[in-house]
Amino acid sequence: MIYADNAATSKLDSQALDAMMPYLKDVYGNPSQPYSFSRESKAALRKSREIIAKCINADPQEIYFTSGGTESDNWALKGLCDNIGGRNTIVTSAIEHHAILKTCDSLKNRGYKIQLLQPDSSGVISPSELSSHLSKDVGIVSVMMANNEIGTIEPIKELASMAHEYGAVFHTDAVQAMGHIKIDVKDLGVDLLSASAHKFNGPRGVGFLYVKKGTKLSPLHNGGSQESNMRAGTENIPGIVGMAIALNNNCELIQSSHQHLIQLENQLLSKLKTNVIDFKINGNRDFHLPGLVSLSFPNKEGEMILHRLDLKHICISTGSACDAGREDISHVLKAIKLEKTYAKGTIRISLSKDNTDSEIDIICDELSSIIRS
Ligand code: PLP
């Protein structure tokens, strides 16, 4: 099997798995209990928080553990809403993940106004686009750090600074970017940031929300006093431990992974260009997640390509199937105004540091033969 769908989920880091095992088996004390058996769990929680904070240049008290990206995104927007005074407008982008867009839909039903920023044809949300939407009514701006379908990296530092000029709070969904590009929350100037472990070789079902000290956010739900009374519920210690190790390992390897991934990407694209005459590469080639390649083939069906590659034991994803099943072209491809003939034939190949050049050759050969047939 060749796995080239790492933006959907990624293989668990083996060191992360080893670190998790004791907490799945023997070290099961509830960290909220005062007896000595729980001390090790409590220490693991503290250490994991410190490791994660260090990876993104945050303070440990600014890291809140969650169940993943969807929960972090929901909490960020819903938890901020009650704290933005009379401001009733939320600005986000048209290419966000549904964890943001559907949360905004639900807030619209509660009376908030939602404004959608439009990207350029490469998926960039420009500072000038944000500037035309800012006013004293805007309480929250939320723009993703990197797009999950086309890989474009957004100018977060500039966008956050503009939002602050108008007194708005800035959140970024960094689910695809975390562990893949360098992230320094202080340098970026973001107030909140969402992340999910399974996108950076951590376990599934665990993530975190960074909340800058002093940011007013309501608790996610009510219950116990875990996570400084902000996110009640007994902590997922094995998941949190695995997430910290996976993030730390990925962050240490970022530079060498980048080189490897860019090399694989170049190999993929140059070979494909010699085999297939007509296709488009989506996203911004200068600012994109290394290893995430979105390709559109005219007059083809992405779904068909996916299934034909699956028969050859190659896992990729379509870039056009909308998960709600109502439309055949995703909201992202619509927003970048990709022509329908190309949009329908879009696939996403998302590579990891574990992919090899011989795997790329196989993907290219199989893909070319499907497109030509
Ligand atoms: N945000 C983005 C940009 C994503 O790509 C995803 C998952 O694909 C999510 C949020 C949701 O993350 P999770 O699956 O951890 O809930």
Give the E-state strand segments of 186-327 in sequence order.
Answer: 192-196, 207-211, 280-282, 292-296, 314-315, 317-318
Residue 220 and residue 338 in one domain = no
In the reported structure, the alpha carbon of residue 163 is separated from the centroid of ligand 1 by a whole-number distance in angstroms of: 24
Residue 302: domain span? 2-8+254-367
The DSSP output letter for 37 is G
Pocket test for ligand 1, best of 6, 70, 102 (most atoms within 8 A of CB): 70
Enumerate helices (H) and strands (E) in the chain, giving the number of each. Answer: 14, 13
Residue 142 and residue 276 in one domain = no
Domain's final residue, options 213, 237, 252: 252
Token pair for residue 60?
A: 């440990």
304 lies in a domain? yes
Among the listed residues 55, 104, 322, 364, the single catalytic one is 322
Residue 291 and residue 243 in one domain = no
Helix axes 302-311 and 357-372, enclosed angle (nearest 10): 120
Q: Which atom of ligand 1 is nearest to the CA of 8?
A: 8
Residue 247 and residue 258 in one domain = no
In the reported structure, the alpha carbon of residue 199 is separated from the centroid of ligand 1 by a whole-number distance in angstroms of: 8
Q: Tell me the one-letter amino acid at 36.
A: S
Q: Is the CB of 68 under 6 A from ligand 1?
A: yes
Q: Is the CB of 203 under 6 A from ligand 1?
A: no
Q: Tell me the one-letter amino acid at 370.
A: I
264 lies in a domain? yes
Q: Write down the pLDDT at residue 111.
A: 95
| CB-count exposure of residue 364 (10 Å: 0-12, 13-18, 19+) | buried
Q: Is the CB of 176 under 6 A from ligand 1?
A: yes
Token pair for residue 112?
A: 């908030």
CATH of the domain at 306: 3.90.1150.10
Pick left, alpha or beta for residue 218 (phi over 0 → left; psi -120 to 50 → alpha; otherwise beta). Answer: beta
Residue 161 and residue 291 in one domain = no
Annotation marks residue 364 as catalytic: no
Domain's final residue, options 252, 281, 315: 252
Helix ranges (H only) for 68-221 are 69-81, 98-109, 127-131, 156-165, 185-188
325 lies in a domain? yes
Closest CA to 332 of 75, 50, 93, 163: 93
Q: Is the CB of 332 under 6 A from ligand 1?
A: no
Q: Write down the pLDDT at residue 362.
A: 98
CATH of the domain at 41: 3.40.640.10
Q: Which atom of ligand 1 is nearest to the CA of 9?
A: 8
The phi, psi pair for 146, rounded to 5°, reads -145, 140
Of how many residues is the chain composed? 373
Token pair for residue 347?
A: 């696939």
Q: Write down the pLDDT at residue 327.
A: 57
Residue 201 and residue 278 in one domain = no
Q: Is the CB of 69 under 6 A from ligand 1?
A: yes
Residue 272 and residue 210 in one domain = no
Residue 112 and residue 142 in one domain = yes
Residue 189 and residue 264 in one domain = no
Other Cβ atoms less than 10 A from the Cβ of 256: the count is: 10
Is 90 in contact with 104 (CB distance < 8 Å)?
Answer: yes
Q: Is the CB of 70 under 6 A from ligand 1?
A: yes
Q: Write down the pLDDT at residue 324.
A: 46
In the reported structure, the alpha carbon of residue 9 is separated from the centroid of ligand 1 by a whole-number distance in angstroms of: 9
Pocket test for ligand 1, best of 97, 145, 204 (most atoms within 8 A of CB): 97
Pocket test for ligand 1, best of 178, 196, 209, 294 (most atoms within 8 A of CB): 196
280 lies in a domain? yes
Residue 229 and residue 264 in one domain = no
Q: Kindly list the distances between the CA atom of residue 204 and the CA atoms of 41, 42, 195, 352, 370, in Å, as whole numbers in the listed order.
A: 20, 21, 12, 17, 33
Q: Tell me the one-letter amino acid at 189.
A: G
Domain's final residue, options 252, 271, 291: 252
Q: Which atom of ligand 1 is nearest to the CA of 147?
A: 3
The DSSP output letter for 197 is G
Residue 228 and residue 310 in one domain = no
372 lies in a domain? no
Number of domains in the chain: 2
Helix axes 69-81 and 98-109, enclosed angle (nearest 10): 30
Q: Which atom of ligand 1 is nearest to the CA of 197?
A: 15
Is 103 in contact with 73 (CB distance < 8 Å)?
Answer: yes
Q: Which atom of ligand 1 is nearest to the CA of 70?
A: 16
Is 19 in contact with 242 (CB distance < 8 Å)?
Answer: yes
What residues of the chain score a pLDDT lower than 70? 320-327
In the reported structure, the alpha carbon of residue 320 is separated from the centroid of ligand 1 by a whole-number distance in angstroms of: 17
Residue 152 and residue 301 in one domain = no
Q: Is the CB of 144 under 6 A from ligand 1?
A: yes
373 lies in a domain? no
Q: Write down the pLDDT at residue 220.
A: 96
222 lies in a domain? yes
The DSSP output letter for 277 is S
208 lies in a domain? yes
Q: Write down the pLDDT at residue 328.
A: 75
Pocket test for ligand 1, best of 6, 198, 199, 294 (most atoms within 8 A of CB): 199
Q: Look up the pTM and report it.
A: 0.97
Token pair for residue 144?
A: 């993703």
Token pair for residue 266?
A: 């170049």
In the reported structure, the alpha carbon of residue 69 is separated from the centroid of ligand 1 by a whole-number distance in angstroms of: 5
Q: Write down the pLDDT at residue 323.
A: 56
Pick left, alpha or beta for residue 304 (phi over 0 → left; psi -120 to 50 → alpha; otherwise beta). Answer: alpha
Closest CA to 82 of 219, 192, 208: 219
Q: Write down the pLDDT at residue 298.
A: 96
